[in-house]
Structure 1
Amino acid sequence: MVSPGGLRTSCKTEPTHSGRPLQSAVAAPVSRTMARGLGEMLKVLMLTPHLDVVGGTERQCLKLATALAHHGVETTILTMRPTEHSRANVPADIAITRLDSPGVWVRRMKRYLRAKRAISPNYSEGRAGVAGNQPSRSFLRELGSLVGHKIPTQIDEAFLERTITRLCSATDVVHLHGVFWLPMLRATARACRATNTPYLVKITNEPERTWRSLKADPAAVGALSTSSGIITVNKHTQGYFQCRFPHVPTHFIPNGTDIPTQSPVAPIRDVLFLGTLKKQKGVDVLMRAWAMTKCTDGHRLLIVGDGPERRALEDLARSLGIEPRVRFLGLRHDVDQLLARRRVFVLPSRWEGMPNALIEAMAHGLPCISTSVDGVTDVLDDGKSGLLVEPENPKALALALDRVLTDHAMASRLGGYARARVIQRFSILAIIKEYMQLYEKFLVRHPNPRLG
């Protein structure tokens, strides 16, 4: 049998902690056997601040972990917020470790106190709410006076480091998804250096914005510079970080997706957007373009997702007079079912890393329209597998929508080429092979102390 990394292997069955059997591969090459020990299963620790089904980074983490488990890799995910839906969609072979820190405990106590009406009547969510992952100082002061002791006002980074260090004792490779939570990046670097565990950092956001947040934190820059490798999801980001960290291996591995059954050919009635409702995604531009389109009879614009701009976008739809033709569907867990219907998919982003929603829509054979920004141009070939327009240009977007909605032959052709493109380059099976080959390299270079 040939493993995803290209090594000839033999398989045996081992029980997991859940009692379900897994296939583990024993590699023939002496170098890997010496580094890992005969019969050892590859163990990967994945780190992500949140784990849900909406964010692209989190969805890729789940897809990658699931595919690795199917290839006989023992995978653990460390996260702060595993949702019930994400837990339900994770195979039993994957262990999810919830990071319980003082900040998490404070949020639980906050909910309890609010339920018991223990907080004063003048309590307001804006004054005492949670900003990002941090409970507000005003709330902490009030809570501290109630429980009678001082509560830390920040996530305990030392606790995070100790947790990662403990998990590293049973890990061959650490894979950090995203650098938007810098405490996790810093703690990962210290824990992995202490345990001689290789760690890979995946950068998923637009590189200039990522670098602006990194360079303000010398410890975070140091954590990236001592990593075993940087993974980027588009070529522009790869070149950008190669220039800044020439001594760190930088790898371009795009996002991947499962290949579903192709949607049946049928008349197109709806236009679909799927993503977080925030400035980056350019949904306001899509609204203005929708108001300019000539195809108004029977066509609807479906907005799937939620976010900080939802209320403003609903107001914009009313002011443009397109409210009857726009539906805000909110957060949905039936994304595959929504994509399986014959629709035009639109992603009017101002910037991207590599959009998962676009790749998934292409895999379903939907005709796609997006903006010519980095990450998107690595996926869509303009005029062949989709249509590209300039960002911030509602008129050009409206013209593209009219073309696809009125020319059914072109829509079918674009959808067919899009699906073929994903099968060729972005299937999760192809992406897993690249990750397995990368993990194998670091196992030989950095033998883990736990293997003796």
Structure 2
Amino acid sequence: MKNKYRILGITSGGFEGFSGVNNNLFSEIGKKYELIDIVDNKLSGFWKYYNALYCFLKTPGFNKYIKPFNEIYHGETSYYRFRTNYYFVERTKAAERILKERTDEYDVILQTGWIPAILEQKQIPRCIYTDYTMKLSEKEFPQWSTFLSDKDKNKWIQMETKSYKNANAIFTSSEHTRKSIIYDYGVHKEKVLTVYEGTDIEKIPDIDKKYDYNIILFVGVDFERKGGYILLNAFKKIREEIKDARLIIIGSRPKINIEGVEVKGFVSYIEKMHYFSIASVFTMPSFAEPFGLVFLEAMAHKIPCIGTNVCAMPEIIQDFETGYLVEPNNSEELADRVISILKDHELARKMGTNGRKRVEELFTWEKVVKRMSIEFDKLI
């Protein structure tokens, strides 16, 4: 039986945005509440291209004038067009217009991410679900906090701060992000709640997994940030110890030709599930990771996971229990940890079983929404 509350979602990228989080989150919310609609307030039409042109003209350097259009549009210009005050302000205006028109239709607003800005507190509760902050980007991966000017950056952080302070509740993907919102932005800790992210555990059967294939799996689009080249260096040492070890790379297409490395690029959901089913160990030694949803998928498949000891990864992977945590940019340590798992099938089985149990207990979308529900009950 559904709860009587009516929820309106606000997103960027619609149902499929936010790395698939929107789809899973709002699908689960729809099981428990009356989900009125999911509003995608991204820039479109003339204003989308106006913003892109502005960013193109402001992007430093002259190389932009000689690069192919698609390369510059989807490269630097694409990066900057999501980091202008114009983008923040216009998306906020669009959201406010929609909310005003539909004010009698909902009891609570849930937006994924901190855009649009919440300019003031209103009678109808408004909640934010986010996995990272701009302040964390500054400290942990400065490439994500580069703006066209310091003025743009300062204004952005002011609006981000206003959103957090005016929200009735803030749900975070990790305790790491929760602490940033409290200490970096001065938000009262009582209204910031860690709810984590989830996976569709019911779609992944609990099988008697085999660890015989010596397959190392990497899944990620941003190969460099996610430590892909560190893993390639580690793989050289791994192959010296385990001659038939294979590394399968999904989501990225690095231009490499290394024996034992298979670059698959983008694959279908069914193909990805196949590679999870045959992998002996999953590793993504990221330099920075807002959360790391793919670790949950791997753990649900009973695969031992190796990540780094930064950002939210220590909240997902229990060191020596569900896998290992290593230092970023340390291929030697990474290789040793992978080798220890590939050589010891009982260790792999123990870690894989522990990982599956941890996902079932903590990281399902049903449990994420249940944690949110506690706060909804207080607000409505």
Q: Give the TM-score, by structure 2 length.
A: 0.78
* Distance (Å, rounded) in 2 between the aligned partners of 1:404 and 1:427: 26
Please, which of 73, 76, 79 is the counterpart of residue 37 of structure 2?
Answer: 76
Extract unaligned runs of 5+ from structure 2: 52-65, 140-144, 146-152
Match of 1:236 in 2: 176
Larger gyration radius, structure 1 or structure 2: 1
Distance verdict in 2 for CA 1:422–1:209, change over 3 Å: same
In the alignment, what sits opposite 1:172?
107
CA distance in 2, matches of 1:303, 1:224: 38
Change (3 A) 1:123 1:257: closer
CA distance in 2, matches of 1:268, 1:51: 39
Does 2:377 match 1:440?
yes
Partner of residue 255 from structure 1, selected from 197, 206, 213: 197
Structure 2 equivalent of residue 375 of structure 1: 312
Q: CA deviation at 1:123?
A: 10
Aligned length: 340
Alignment of structure 1 residues 5-404 onto 2, 5 Å = 11=1, 24-25=2-3, 41-51=4-14, 57-79=18-40, 100-103=44-47, 124-125=68-69, 129=73, 131-132=77-78, 156-157=90-91, 158-179=93-114, 184-186=115-117, 189-190=118-119, 193=121, 196-205=123-132, 208-210=135-137, 215-217=154-156, 218-243=158-183, 244-247=185-188, 249-259=191-201, 260-266=204-210, 267-293=212-238, 294-306=240-252, 310=253, 313-314=254-255, 317-318=256-257, 322-334=258-270, 335-404=272-341
Report the Cα offset of residue 211 of structure 1: 6.6
Residue type of the alignment partner of 2:129: K
Local SS of the residue matching 1:281: coil
Cα distance in structure 2, aligned partners of 1:253 and 1:221: 20
* Percent of aligned positions that are identical: 21
Equivalent residue in structure 1 for 2:350, among 413, 418, 421: 413
CA distance in structure 2 between the partners assigned to 1:422 and 1:258 by the alignment:
10
Instruction: For residues 241-265 of structure 1, give each alpha carbon's deviation from its aligned partner in whole angstroms, at most 9, with x where no partner exists.
Output: 2123233611111111222212432
Root-mean-square deviation (CA), in Å?
3.2
Distance 1:353 1:159, change over 3 A: closer
Q: Secondary structure at the match of 2:116?
A: helix
Which stretches in structure 1 are left out of the alignment for 5+ residues? 1-10, 12-23, 26-40, 82-98, 108-121, 137-151, 444-452
Contact 1:101 1:155 in 2 (8 A): no
Structure 1 residues 280, 45: CA separation in 2 closer, same or farther (over 3 Å shift)? farther
Distance in 1 between residues matched to 2:15 and 2:268, nearest whole Å? 11
Moved over 6 A (4+): 133-136, 152-155
Q: Distance in 2 between matches of 1:227 and 1:264?
A: 45
Distance 2:87 2:133 in 1: 30
The separation in 2 between residues aligned to 1:175 and 1:431, in whole angstroms, is 14
Give me the whole-angstrom Cα distance separating, in 2, the residues matched to 1:375 and 1:402. Answer: 24
Write the deviation string for residues 164-203 of structure 1: whole angstroms up to 9, x where unpaired: 4334442222222223xxxx322xx14x74x632222223
CA contact 1:206–1:352 (8 Å) conserved in 2:
no
Point out the structure with the larger helix share: 2
In the TM superposition, residue 415 of structure 1 has moved relative to its aligned partner by: 0.2
d(CA) in 1 for partners of 2:103 and 2:235? 51
Q: Output the TM-score relative to the length of structure 1.
A: 0.66
1:172–1:361 Cα change, 3 Å: same
The 8 Å contact of residues 6 and 33 in structure 2, kept in 1 or not, is answered as no
